Amino acid sequence: MEQFSTRQNKISRLVHREMAEILLKINKSEYIGKLITVTVVRVTKDLGIARVYLSIFPSEYAEKILSDIKLHNKQIRGELGRKVGKSLRVIPELEFYIDDSLDYIDSINKLLKS
């Protein structure tokens, strides 16, 4: 398992908290009735890229919502920069991924019950 430095962990937590707020605003205005949750943020060693893992419910809308978020990547990064600009010298590039671990757990539970 990869070890993360203290600095990486601090930046990950900061980006995680702010991305959750940004996506909450987007969710309230554009995706009414859907739930978007930031599950994990991992920052590379050079602090240049932040990989943001999203859990989207209901999962049948996950691909569409993820593609919309990727289209608005620059605006989301700009908003992140306005929020954490005083704390970070360089705002990391954002990469978004679907975290389907909850779906995986649910499918395993169904298999175990049957």
Please give the residue range of the domain that contains residue 80: 6-113
Render pLDDT for 4-22 as a digit per residue (tens, 0 to 9). Answer: 889 999 999 999 999 999 9
CA distances from residue 22 to 5, 30, 33, 60 in whole angstroms, order as listed: 26, 12, 17, 22
Distance CA 9, CA 3 (A): 10
Dig out the tokens for 110 from the structure: 């169904």
Render pLDDT for 44-82 as a digit per residue (tens, 0 to 9). Answer: 999 999 999 999 988 888 899 999 999 999 999 999 999
With respect to residue 1, please indicate whether it lies within any of the assigned structural domains.
no
Question: What CATH number is given to the structural domain containing 83?
Answer: 3.30.300.20
Structural domain tally of the chain? 1
